Amino acid sequence: MRAQENQFDETAPVRTGWLRACLHGALGVLYPPQCVECGVRTAAPDVPLCPRCAAGIERATPQAVGERLQRLAAADVIADARSLWVFDAQGALQSVQHALKYQNQPHIGHTLGRWMADVVPTEAWMPDGFVPVPLHRQRWLERGYNQSETLTKGLAEATGVPSCPDILARVRPTASQTGLARTQRWRNVAGAFAASQPDRVAGQAWVVVDDVLTTGSTAAAAAHALLHAGASQVFLCTLGMART
């Protein structure tokens, strides 16, 4: 009887939560959260930049992002776009992107997504959901998470617009876009995406979410898939816009 009582011990979750909180606090003391750019202590583990480094990153204006889209073939499928910051090689934003994408720090994506919400004109766009650019299953297994999906979670929390990571799929693996020329980028992602739930997509407005806008090829390929499934409009929101 005693063994059966222990099996249904209602205090076990409380003890587990208390131990987890103690461990988290101890790790915070031993390894305090640091700015990924300068190393100064930050407010919390999910805050990747100190106020000084964050303020030092150039903001991307709607006009600059719009002009970039007009120079790209993505302009005919993306109704409007916003980026939070201008991305410079070797700059603070690159440190953030590398931490999020390559250094196993998905927790910072949630904070970054909340910051991105500051530039999303929800009243003008009236989106039905945020759609992260999906990873192929093979890449997801290697990384363990989709960095764009972590951004959409923060965006959803800050705006009240749902994150919908399950309506778009990457149907074939693609090589990394880093280092590819513009035409190579377009060929690399052409036909790489498809709507996994066309009935949910049709007649709705969606915001594709990615980390950096460079040539717009990835965003355009994702937008093509959504429009092919009947989406009414597709917008784009990225953490950064490459300067060139």
pLDDT, one tens digit for every residue, the chain (244 residues)? 444 444 444 444 445 445 544 554 555 555 689 999 999 999 899 999 999 999 999 999 999 999 888 887 667 899 999 999 999 989 999 999 999 999 999 999 999 999 999 999 999 999 999 999 998 888 888 888 999 999 999 999 999 999 999 999 987 766 566 665 666 666 666 677 899 999 999 999 999 999 999 888 889 999 999 999 999 999 999 999 999 7
The answer as to whether 133 is a domain residue is: yes
Task: End-to-end CA distance of the chain: give it in Å, rounded.
Answer: 71
Radius of gyration of the chain (CA): 20
pTM confidence score: 0.82
Q: What is the pLDDT of residue 170?
A: 87
> Cα–Cα distance between 112 and 150 in angstroms, integer?
9
Inter-residue contact 110 to 145 (CB < 8 Å): no
Instruction: Tell me which H or E stretch contains 240.
Output: strand 233-242
* CATH code of the domain in which 77 resides: 3.40.50
C-alpha pair distances (Å), 194 with each of 43, 109, 155, 225, 229: 40, 24, 23, 5, 8
pLDDT at 22: 52
Domain assignment present for residue 146? The answer is: yes
Is 86 part of a structural domain of the chain?
yes
Question: Which pLDDT value is given to residue 106?
Answer: 93
Please provide the DSSP assignment of 65-102 as one string.
HHHHHHTSGGGGT-S-EEEEEEE-TTSHHHHHHHHHHH
13 belongs to a structural domain:
no
Provide the residue type at 211 as one letter: D
d(CA 185, CA 175): 9
| Per-residue pLDDT, 210 | 96
Domain count, the chain: 1
Helical spans, DSSP H, in the chain: 2-7, 12-30, 51-55, 62-70, 92-102, 107-116, 122-125, 137-143, 147-159, 182-189, 198-201, 217-228
**Residue 129, in any domain of the structure:** yes
3-state secondary structure of 156: helix
Task: Determine the structural domain holding residue 185 and report its residue range.
Answer: 58-242
Pair type for strands 168-170 and 193-195 = antiparallel
Q: What is the pLDDT of residue 24?
A: 47
Residue 19 domain-assigned (yes or no): no
**Does a structural domain hold residue 40?**
no
**What is the Cα–Cα distance from 242 to 178, expressed in whole angstroms?**
12
Asked whether residue 21 is assigned to any structural domain, the reply reads: no
What is the per-residue pLDDT for 73? 62
Give backbone dihedrals phi and psi of 115, rounded to 5 degrees, phi first.
-65, -40
Per-residue pLDDT at 217: 85
